[in-house]
Amino acid sequence: MPDGESSSATSSAELEPHLSVAEYLLQNLSLSEVKDHDDQAVKKDPKKIARRYQLELCKKALEENIIVYLGTGCGKTHIAVLLMHAMGHLIRKPQKNICIFLAPTVALVHQQGKVIEDSTDFKVGIFCGSSKRLKRHHDWEQEIGQHEVLVMTPQILLHNLSHCFIRMDMISLLIFDECHHAQVKSNHPYAEIMKVFYKNNSKSVPRIFGMTASPVVGKGASSEANLSKSINSLEQILDAKVYTVEDRELQSFVTNATISVYHYSSVANGTDSLYTTYHADLDLIKYQCIASLGRNVEDHQKRMNTKKLLNRIHENVVFCLRNLGIWGGLQVRLLYYILSSHASHILLRGDRSERHELVEAEGNSSDDSVCDKYLSQAAELFNSHLKGDGVSDLSSMEIMREPFFSSKLLCLVQILSSFRLAIKMQQNPKCIIFVNRIVTARSLSYILKKLKLLTQWRSDFLVGVHAGLKSMSRKTMNIIVEKFRSGELNLLVATKVGEEGLDIQTCCLVIRFDLPETVASFIQSRGRARMPQSEYAFLVDSDNKKDLDLIDGFEKDECRMNMEIADRTSTETYIIPEERIFRVDSSGASVSSGYSISLLHQYCSKLPHDEYFDPKPSFYYFDEKDGIVCHIIFPSNAPIHLIVSSPQLSMEASKKDACLKAIQELYEIGSLSDCLLPKQETTEPEEKDSSPSNTDGCEEDNSRGELHQMLVPSPFRKSWINEEKIVHLNSYYIKFCPSPEDRVYKKFGLFIMTCLPAEAEKLELDLHLAHGRSVMTSFVPFGVVEFDKDEIKMAERFQEMFLKIILDRSEFVSDLVTLGKGAESHNGSSTFYLMLPVVLQEYENIMTVDWKTVRRCLCSPIFKPPPDAVYQKPYPSDSSLQLANGKRSIRDVENSLVYAKHKKLFYFVTNVNHEKNGLSPSKDSGTSSYADDLLEKFSIHLKHPEQRLLHAKPVFNLHNLLHNRKYEDTEPQELEEFFVDLPPELCELKVVGFSKDMGSSISLLPSVMHRLGNLLVAIELKQMLSRFFPEAAEINSHTILEALTTEKCQERFSLERLEVLGDAFLKFAVARHFFLTCDSLHEGDLTARRSNVVNNSNLYKLALKRNLQVYIRDQAFDPCQFYAFGRPCPIVCNNETEESIHSCLNSVKEQGSSTEIQCNKNHHWVYRKTIADAVEALVGAFIVDSGFKAAIAFLTWLGIQVSFEASQLINVCRGSVGYVPLSADVNILSLEDKLGYHFIHKGLLLQAFVHPSYNKHGGGCYQARLLYC
């Protein structure tokens, strides 16, 4: 267990004398918690393995805020777990409060999170680094709702508190691991959290629990003068009291490592003079490189950065030369790995950003060629010495002496070599070597790997996770630690990153190659030696008295610290500097002057940038009369250019003051949200495109359609049901012009209550049939027609009849079909129009209903005959036929509908074939007769084989005739009709007078009426928009229909092309509006604002507000779902049935069905993106037919502001005058000639060529703003 938790082997006898403490803890658990514990929770009771002092310290932590001061391995983490367990009733769900456990490093966060998960049944969430990028309140609300204990780095908590993602009153227990970082004078997040957000006088504050192995940190903090002050200040800032345990109580649990001091002499054997010579030579090389800077590097800032980097590299080379020595080898590549001659490869060959991290230099722009030159010459210097001594590689024993290895390194090798016997005796012991510099860690690790004398040691290096050090990513660091734990590695060379929290319980040797700088570092690194009889070794220069005294000084400081905690000598504290805070009252977000620095850098990093430009604030300090003043120069594309602090006592204070002022100003101009975050981070993400083909890859609501009702056009909705006697209907002849003229179509007319709009009357529709054939359809108005009560009833039944025949003809298999039984349902029909056969009197321009045909059909024997219907019986034998349902007149049989029961098919009979009977040769066989074929295939014996056969055509199925069935470069071809000859006695007469030409016409009507209905919807939208802005009257309704029709409709047009045009114009218009009205915003903010307006989510919401979704057509026409008067929709949708109906519809849709089942309310599933696309297509439609003015008027009506004042445009043009002086560097005339356009305002052209990285012009950068437009 990490941090020295005791194992489960602790006997119950050891705990029995202290049951009172355990009982106390149980009393602090709520009754509900005890009852709700399941078997797993009981198994994870941390009290079972707790030590006595852990229980007592937990009891103290329940009473007050405390800081537990215990050495490494004493089980501090387990005390925190006990405290969580005891306070569980406050944080277990459904409680809204939480426990937050803070750890200063990512490795510790993961380590401690695992300990809590293994020790308790709490729901634990781990947050660190980039593990979870939660940027919205909603995201954190979800995490808090799911977890009870949140383990995170303090930077994340500080961020969340500052921006109100988490409030302090939500935290019941706040735990600080390695809490000594909370120093009064530091800017550590621990200190910021407590100073800014913890108010001990508040009604609701969390319980504070701190853990540390050293309550003081930093140089001089443990001195006699500062010790009590440091401890008291830590207690003050954490609002807690330090508690520890007497040494004798810990001795049975924790083994202290034996301290050993190994001496070496840095001036032995006269090598000091050799190092001095090398030092002088390296100094000379450095000065020569610096001298070349003035000749080769023009930019002053770049020259200063290069000089700074060069000095840092030189310092590291010299440092490693004295600490590690030099060694020989003929292979130059080895010189590049190890400093002194050896680390040149690290510095020379590595990634440049990694090189900066390696030498711990700032990664500003610099001339790397100068640094490369220095390293190359340094390598040559060492190489010449190595070749002269004839040393080939590390396997040579000759190298094991000075000056190849420094005396310090030789001492280390001797320690490790002598420890080989211990490696054989112990079970996989481990060693950690601590150094103070990254470059030393890498170099030393390489040497130890290559030495054949130390083959038992399997080594690697461990350094902190730096932004630029790609070789030590967080993943790599975790892999190395895991290898060390498992034993694959048994030697680590580590910087101070390994001092805190690295839990390796089998480590038995810790070596301080570089001495610790503070007593805290002394204690922390000692705590890594966890095995019994462990050794804590120091390498000390015997010629350096200061180093000799340092070890004793650390031990004395530790002893003094323990005595001070046991018996306080003073209550004096450091003065806590007052922290200035900027707070937003509306949201509660607050930023301290300390946090404002990182927030300002975060804001600048969000500014638009590219590979040539990395926006960062620049800080300049000036000594003035009243103090130090900080000037912040912002990147050229920031909305503000300069911020000046008020005079302060120090550079740090002036920087904080200036940064806090900058944050306040950025908020006031709208660049920061109410949560004090860059607007880009608070923008809701645009909804993902959703379509039936990719529903599996979409998220949340965007992955599913939404249920919307399709509008039925108003002319179809007006009913005649309530008319008392005479019904007046507007009549329209539906004209069919086939190409080629290979079919005869019965004349039909449309009858409707409301006069069709002019654009609908002019509708011309090309219906596509098979084999390239088509029928051009149009409407011819014929005025108003009167229907009396009986006529309207007859017309209704006729429409009901033919709709049943073409769509639901299975009803006609029976002997009786009742018409009009659904009259009650007609009252709830959504459409009211009649399609009836007509007779044209062209010379008189009169159209009348073909009542003769209507009556003849309705008088068929399958229907209940009307009162005046009379059948003539008996029929003469020469003019009648024996049918399956009786003898019928040939006149009634011809041009009628029959049913052949043996084939289970309906047929249109065109005529009686007088040349064939049942004994004639069959057309299929050629030799056998029709009677023989029927006997063979159906086992039917004809009773009247001498009867003449019926010449008939099968009743056809309906098709969608609106999609494109014509192919380019193909001519329409006549299609021969398919007929069969049927014995009359096998056919039942169903509908008299229902002819083939009538069926041909009726097969076209559903497609015609579907298109007419869609056009009427488009006209209705046009009329509605025209009431709000007159420009809408100029648009063609067919163009609107195109903008409302999606690709899924499979018609010969769709909104795709108009959408592309509308999308482009919408972005341009909105961009122009913001560009002219928000002149202080950079292109990033402008882009964010434009995105908020033009994204699919916003367009969808605006469309819903204006009810545009009801006009959209997003389903292919399915003739089987053609519902009109006489054929109402069978699926009745109401409040009770809607959910069950449409959840079923949705599942059908998800399974890939091409169409949906339609309900009586015309509901259909539409994706949000489809609605947004329709909005963009409507914009494009207005541009095509009415121009930009109409498109802008539509956007304004929709709720999108794109207008601007002419004066704003004039101001932009006038403002560009400031760029005219740049014409000295740009040939404007040549540019204009190449562009073929001469600018009135030359400054605008110049702006387009000013990159953000160009900062010599004080007017700011507008290139990116122009690019935004």
| DSSP of 838-853 | EEEEGGGTEEEE-HHH
C-alpha–C-alpha distance, residues 793 and 823, integer Å: 10
Per-residue pLDDT averaged across 145-161, rounded? 94
Per-residue pLDDT averaged across 1161-1183, rounded? 91
What DSSP letter does each residue of 515-583 carry, written as one string? Answer: --SSHHHHHHHHTT--STT-EEEEEEETT-HHHHHHHHHHHHHHHHHHHHHHS------PPPPPPPEEE
Pairing type for strands 642-644 and 987-991 reads unpaired
Per-residue pLDDT averaged across 924-941, rounded? 85
Q: In the structure, what pLDDT confidence band is assigned to residue 338 with cuts at 50, 70 and 90?
A: very low
Window from 9-13, 217-221, 1124-1128, 1239-1243 with minimum mean pLDDT = 9-13
pLDDT tens across 1004-1015, in order? 999 999 999 999
Question: How confident is the model at residue 681, as a pLDDT?
Answer: 58
Question: How confident is the model at residue 29, as a pLDDT?
Answer: 41
The letter for the amino acid at 549 is D
Per-residue pLDDT averaged across 503-517, rounded? 84
Q: In the structure, what pLDDT confidence band is assigned to residue 797 with cuts at 50, 70 and 90?
A: very high
Question: How confident is the model at residue 685, as a pLDDT?
Answer: 43
More confident residue, 755 or 524: 755
Query: Taking 60 as the threshold, does the pLDDT of residue 1212 lie above it?
Result: yes
Give every strand in the sheet of 642-644, ordered side by side.
618-624, 627-633, 642-644
Query: Taking 60 as the threshold, does the pLDDT of residue 1196 lie above it?
Result: yes
Q: In the structure, what pLDDT confidence band is assigned to residue 1227 with cuts at 50, 70 and 90?
A: confident
Measured between alpha carbons, how far is residue 360 from residues 231, 356, 961 in Å?
Answer: 31, 6, 75
Burial annotation 45-77 (CB, 10 A radius, 16+ → b, else e):
bbbebbbebbbbbbbbbbeebbbbbbbbbbbbb
Window from 269-283, 663-677, 711-725, 1094-1108 with minimum mean pLDDT = 269-283
Question: How confident is the model at residue 875, as a pLDDT?
Answer: 62
More confident residue, 524 or 698: 524
Query: Taking 90 as the threshold, does the pLDDT of residue 1202 lie above it?
Result: no
Query: Taking 60 as the threshold, does the pLDDT of residue 210 lie above it?
Result: yes
pLDDT averaged over every residue in the chain: 81
Pairing type for strands 987-991 and 896-900 reads antiparallel
Unique residue bearing structure tokens 């927030």: 599
pLDDT tens across 1016-1074, in order? 999 999 999 999 999 999 999 999 999 999 999 889 899 999 999 999 999 999 988 88
Question: How confident is the model at residue 1109, as a pLDDT?
Answer: 92
Identify the CATH number of the domain defined by range 877-996: 2.170.260.10
Window from 72-86, 165-179, 672-686, 766-780 with minimum mean pLDDT = 672-686
Measured between alpha carbons, how far is residue 162 from residues 300, 666, 1013 in Å?
Answer: 38, 16, 58
Q: In the structure, what pLDDT confidence band is assigned to residue 826 with cuts at 50, 70 and 90?
A: low
Q: Which residue in 529, 463, 534 sits closest to 213, CA to CA?
A: 529
Pairing type for strands 748-752 and 581-583 reads unpaired
Burial class (CB in 10 A: 0-12, 13-18, 19+), 870: exposed
996 in Cβ contact with 801 (< 8 Å): no
Question: How confident is the model at residue 1058, as a pLDDT?
Answer: 95
At a CB cut-off of 8 Å and minimum separation 6, what does 1011 contact? 763, 765, 962
More confident residue, 184 or 295: 184
pLDDT tens across 309-330, in order? 888 888 877 887 778 877 532 2
Query: Taking 50 as the threshold, does the pLDDT of residue 468 lie above it?
Result: no
Q: In the structure, what pLDDT confidence band is assigned to residue 16 with cuts at 50, 70 and 90?
A: very low
- With residues binned 3-state (H G I as helix, E B as strand, rest as coil), the percentages for the chain, rounded to 5, are 45, 15, 35
Question: How confident is the model at residue 1248, as a pLDDT?
Answer: 72
Question: How confident is the model at residue 791, as a pLDDT?
Answer: 93
Q: Which residues pair with 9 in a beta bridge?
A: none
C-alpha–C-alpha distance, residues 136 and 682, integer Å: 7
pTM of the model: 0.63
Question: How confident is the model at residue 40, as a pLDDT?
Answer: 43
Query: Taking 80 as the threshold, does the pLDDT of residue 22 lie above it?
Result: no
Share of the chain above pLDDT 70, in %: 78
3-state SS, residue 451: coil
Window from 263-272, 391-400, 740-749, 945-954 with minimum mean pLDDT = 391-400
CATH architecture of 1028-1070+1098-1198: Orthogonal Bundle (1.10)
Question: How confident is the model at residue 1114, as a pLDDT?
Answer: 87
Per-residue pLDDT averaged across 502-525, rounded? 84
Two domains, one topology: 2-254 and 877-996: no
The first and second tokens of residue 440, run together, are: 């030393």
Question: How confident is the model at residue 1002, as a pLDDT?
Answer: 95
Q: Is the peptide bond before 1252 cis (omega within 30 degrees of 0)?
A: no
Please, what's the largest Cα pairwise distance for the chain?
A: 144
Query: Taking 50 as the threshold, does the pLDDT of residue 930 lie above it?
Result: yes
Q: In the structure, what pLDDT confidence band is assigned to residue 130 with cuts at 50, 70 and 90?
A: low
Identify the CATH number of the domain defined by range 2-254: 3.40.50.300
What DSSP letter does each residue of 83-133 carry, written as one string? Answer: HHHHTHHHHSTT---EEEEE-SSHHHHHHHHHHHHHH----EEEE-TTS--
Question: How confident is the model at residue 1016, as a pLDDT?
Answer: 96
Q: In the structure, what pLDDT confidence band is assigned to residue 334 with cuts at 50, 70 and 90?
A: very low
Per-residue pLDDT averaged across 5-18, rounded? 34
If one counts every other C-beta atom within 10 angstroms of the C-beta of residue 669, the result is: 13
Q: In the structure, what pLDDT confidence band is assigned to residue 19 with cuts at 50, 70 and 90?
A: very low
Q: Which residue in 444, 438, 492, 447 sits closest to 468, CA to CA?
A: 438
Query: Taking 50 as the threshold, does the pLDDT of residue 689 lie above it?
Result: no
C-alpha–C-alpha distance, residues 929 and 909, integer Å: 21
Question: How confident is the model at residue 865, as a pLDDT?
Answer: 56
847 in Cβ contact with 731 (< 8 Å): yes
Question: How confident is the model at residue 1021, as a pLDDT?
Answer: 96
Q: In the structure, what pLDDT confidence band is assigned to residue 42 with cuts at 50, 70 and 90?
A: very low
C-alpha–C-alpha distance, residues 404 and 340, integer Å: 10
Question: How confident is the model at residue 521, as a pLDDT?
Answer: 87
Query: Taking 60 as the threshold, does the pLDDT of residue 1146 lie above it?
Result: no
Query: Taking 70 as the threshold, does the pLDDT of residue 736 lie above it?
Result: yes
Query: Taking 70 as the threshold, does the pLDDT of residue 603 lie above it?
Result: yes
More confident residue, 810 or 723: 810
Query: Taking 90 as the threshold, does the pLDDT of residue 177 lie above it?
Result: yes
Domain covering 581-682, topology: Double Stranded RNA Binding Domain (3.30.160)
C-alpha–C-alpha distance, residues 59 and 745, integer Å: 97
C-alpha–C-alpha distance, residues 1120 and 617, integer Å: 68
Give every strand in the sheet of 896-900, ordered side by side.
980-982, 948-954, 905-917, 896-900, 987-991
Question: How confident is the model at residue 371, as a pLDDT?
Answer: 78
Question: How confident is the model at residue 501, as a pLDDT?
Answer: 61
Question: How confident is the model at residue 778, as a pLDDT?
Answer: 96
Q: In the structure, what pLDDT confidence band is assigned to residue 823 with cuts at 50, 70 and 90?
A: low
pLDDT tens across 628-669, in order? 999 999 888 788 889 999 999 999 999 999 999 999 999 998
Per-residue pLDDT averaged across 89-116, rounded? 92
Q: In the structure, what pLDDT confidence band is assigned to residue 968 with cuts at 50, 70 and 90?
A: low
Window from 705-709, 905-909, 1121-1125, 1259-1263 with minimum mean pLDDT = 1259-1263
Query: Taking 70 as the threshold, does the pLDDT of residue 1267 lie above it?
Result: no
C-alpha–C-alpha distance, residues 1140 and 1151, integer Å: 17
What's the CA angle centered on 188, arms 178 and 97, to 5 degrees?
Answer: 70
CATH architecture of 255-266+406-543: 3-Layer(aba) Sandwich (3.40)
* Domain limits, the chain: 2-254, 255-266+406-543, 268-404, 581-682, 714-868, 877-996, 1028-1070+1098-1198, 1206-1268
pLDDT tens across 918-927, in order? 889 887 666 7
Which phi and psi (to 5°) does residue 1140 adopt?
Answer: -70, -40
The residue count of the chain comes to: 1269
Question: How confident is the model at residue 11, as a pLDDT?
Answer: 30
Query: Taking 60 as the threshold, does the pLDDT of residue 356 lie above it?
Result: no
